[in-house]
Every structure is written in C-alpha cells, then in structure tokens.
Amino acid sequence: MDLSDLIARNAAFTPGKVAIRFQGRVLTYADLAERIAAAARALKSRLGVGRGDRVAILAANHPDYLVLLYACARLGAMLVPLNWRLAIPEQVFILSDASVKALVVEESFAAVIPPLAEALPDVQVVGLDFDPDGGSFDGLIAAGSGDGRNPHIDFSCPLLVVYTSGTTGRPKGAVLRQEALVWNAAMSQHMHALTAEDHVLVVLPMFHVGGLNIQATPALQLGATVTLHARFAPGETLAAIAAERPSLIVLVPATIQALLDHPDWPATDLSSLRAVTTGSTIVPQPLIDAVTARGLPVLQVYGSTETCPIAIYTRLGGEARGTGLPGLYCEARVVDDQGREVPAGTPGEVVVRGPNVFFEYWGNEAATSEALRNGWYHTGDIGLRDADGCFEIRDRKKNMIISGGENIYPAEVERVLNAHPAVREAAVVGRPDPRWQEVPVAYVVLREGARVEAAALEGHVAAELARFKVPREFVFVTDLPRNVLGKVQHFRLRELARRDA
C-alpha cells in the first residue's frame, strides 16, 4: 500500500464527493483518483520514472501539484517542489543537486527552461499549463499506458525532497518518507478535530510543507474537501471565506496581518471557520488578539521542513498554552549542549523524534549526522517547557531571518555578497519590520581602495537570489565584530540593527 491508495480508498467510499476546488474547476474523489493513476502511468511509460527517481515541479498552487505528489507515491518516486520565489540560479542548483529526471513547470516560470537546458540537458521538461517542446502535462497523461505501478512500493519509500536553506549557504534537501505524511496527517486530524466533513482553504504555497502538509494532504487523505488558491491575495481570501465557507485555514503572521489591514476584514463573514492555524515564526500576540476578537480560535503549530512539519501544537478544544504540546505521534524535548534533557522552565534546544521526522538530507551525510542524533532531530531552535509539558519557543535558529513567512539564511546572502569584487566581507542580520516581521540588512566591509554604491550590491544579490532575500539596507563599516576565535558576532549586529530600526 502507498499514499495514493488513500485517495483511491476515499474515491471508493465517496466517488462523487468534491476533493478539490480550483478556479471554478471541481475534481471529485473519483476524478482525482483516476488522474493520479493516469499521471503515474504516463510518468512511468513516457518519461521512464522509476522507483527512487526525482520529479520536480515549479508552479503556483494547482490541483496537478497534488496529482503529481500522489502519482510519485504510486511509483515510489520523489517529488521535488521548487520555490517559485527563488532566483533561477537557485532553482537550477536544486535541480542539479537532486539529479531530477523531469521537471513539470508552469508557463509563468518558463524562464527557467533555457538555463536548465544548458546546465542539465537530459532533464525532461513538461509544461503544466502550456505545451513546450517536451509537451504538456495533459498531453503526457493522454499518451500514458501500462499499469502505473512499480514493485516494492510502500509507506517506507521516500516521497518528498524539500529544499531548505542551510547555514553553509547552500540549500539542503530534506527527504520525507511516505509514512511521514501519514503520521503528520494523523496529528493534523488530532490538532484540528479534522473530519471528512471539513472544507480546507489553502492559500499558502505548497512548495512549503506548511502549505502542503498542515491541512491540504491531511484533508485529502481523510476524504475532506480542499479549495486551492494559486497564490495568497488578501481580498480574494476574505471573499472566499465569505462565499465558499471553508471550515479551516492556515496562515502565517504576515498573511494574517494582510487580512487585518484589508478594508473588508471588519465586515467579512467568518462564521464558517472553526479555527485559524498559524506558525512558521513566533506569532505576535496582537495578531492573535485581533483574530480571537472576531470569535475565532487561533491554533499554533511548531515544526519545520524536517518534521513534515507538525511537531508541537495547540489543539482545538484543548487547554495547552504557548506553542503547545508535542504532537500525538511524536516526542519533543528541551536539551542542553550535551543533549541532556533540562528541567522545566530552563531554556535549551528543542529536539524532536517520531515517524514524521525526515529520513536524511539528500546526498549530504555530514549535515544529516549533525541534525539527526540517536534518532532525535536537533532543530537549533531555543525553547522551554513548563511543568505541565507545554512548550514555548523563545528564539529561532541562531542567525535565521524569517521575512513574511520565508526563511532567509544569512550565510546564503553573504556568500553572494562576498563574491562581489569590491566586497572584502559581509554579514547579514534581520531587522524588525512592522509588515514582514523582519527584513535582511547587510553590513559590508569593502576592499581597500574599492568603491561601490548600495544599488550595485542590491543588483548583484538580486541577480543570484530571490527578491525577498535581497538586503533592504547596506551599511558600510570598517570592520565586523568578532569573538576571540575570529567568528563574526551576528548577535551584536542584530542588536545594532534593532537599535537603528
């Protein structure tokens, strides 16, 4: 049995029930199950996708995003979701690192095709909503044949390779097995009191495990209905809540703020919603208060790409405080630098163990060994638990910046800045921002005799990295603060950035 069989079972129980709504299009569970089976046949017979092969997708939210996920599960293949906010060189790096066999790409992002063809000529390209030289996804499905199955496929097979930036400045691919999505869904069902009668509205991008796995895949695997929006837009989200009456939604703090700032927020009928789920960063209390003032419970979820992502949460109808309790099917602890559990009320590193935790970083044994120790995933996040076992996340990974729900790792931006001929060294930190929570700021030391304008450095970074990673300000300094070992003290720069905010 594989993950796609859960969709097929729901199709057997309720074939005519709506599984996915998208831009006026409706897919019943029977439709969805058949399209998954047809996609698997086509991937196998036309593209030669076998057990363990990687298939990438570069697209906004779309029903075929989920079709492709479950088709890969059926074949024992792995889906590599690409962040469409990344710059093309970043996307090509991921495609190369994952050694993908095929890429399904939306026409809006077709600019990646020429550099991909040059760097990786053997990658087969299929158009999601158009017909490039490699053909369209609909055409591929129509031409498929055979049984669309591979031998020895079960829940233990890897399914997702989701890339997350790392402190080395290059992204790492977290490998999640099919079973991780099964147990993650079980925890989502527990967290939300999710049933087949629920209607989930998905507005966060599914290239993140938050958009994909907090509610979307759990809902489908249980037989509920999912409405997809291609991208988040506050006005459209509020209109959909009022008109389509979903019962659940996941939002990050930046998108909650966008709804609160929209003129339609006060008058929008929110009565269909049972709760709003949020996470990805520390959630400001004023946002929680503004949502609960409308009579809506706010559920908090903590996790990461490596935990699929559900690990710690507050439950609908429950009494957990702060960030919540460890999920129903996983464990969480707070430990010191030696990995020993610390007493209640003592800050330490949050570690997680369970069947929802990732298997490895793709092709990166050193990073895997560093993160997974004795079965525990070391998150790098600082938190504490109280006497009742409730967790509170106090700080994020040492240097990570979270801007509008997106992770920015300073080392990645610093790597690009340091490649500029005028730059001797650079350090990047987060500065508080009322809209995005944080924005990146770069402190730059120039080479002796060199001169460069901030606009030139901005353009240099924008050519290599996603726009949200480009520093909002470049501060030119003569040197960077260091400790006795010569390491740059980012915490001192963060203090400086906060003082100057």
Write out the residue limits of the CATH 3.40.50.12780 domain(s) in the chain. Answer: 4-154, 191-395
35 pLDDT band, cuts 50/70/90, is: very high
Closest-CA residue to 192 (of 287, 280, 277): 277
The answer as to CATH 3.30.310.50 being correct for domain 401-500 is: no
Task: Give the Cα separation of 359 and 55 in Å (integer).
Answer: 18
3-state secondary structure 134-176: CCEHHHHHHHCCCCCCCCCCCCCCEEEEEEECCCCCCCEEEEE
If you ran DSSP here, which 8-state letter would residue 488 be given? Answer: B
Q: Which of 61-65, 96-100, 436-440 has the lowest mean pLDDT?
A: 436-440
What CATH superfamily is the domain 191-395?
ANL, N-terminal domain (3.40.50.12780)
Give the pLDDT of residue 167. 47
367 vs 247: CA distance, rounded Å: 39
Q: How far apart are CA 45 and CA 163, in angstroms?
A: 28
Q: Among the residues of 209-334, which ranges form H helices?
A: 209-213, 216-222, 234-244, 253-261, 285-292
What is the β-pairing status of strands 248-251 and 275-279? Answer: parallel
The H or E element containing residue 413 is: helix 410-417
Write out the H or E segment, with its range, that includes residue 460. Answer: helix 454-462
Q: What is the pLDDT of residues 423-458, one digit of tens each?
A: 989 999 999 998 898 999 999 999 999 999 999 999
Taking residues 89-113, what's their average pLDDT? 97
Homologous superfamily (CATH) for 4-154: ANL, N-terminal domain (3.40.50.12780)
pLDDT above 70: residue 395 = no
Reported as a single tens digit per residue, the pLDDT across 206-246 is 999 999 999 999 999 999 999 999 999 999 999 999 999 99
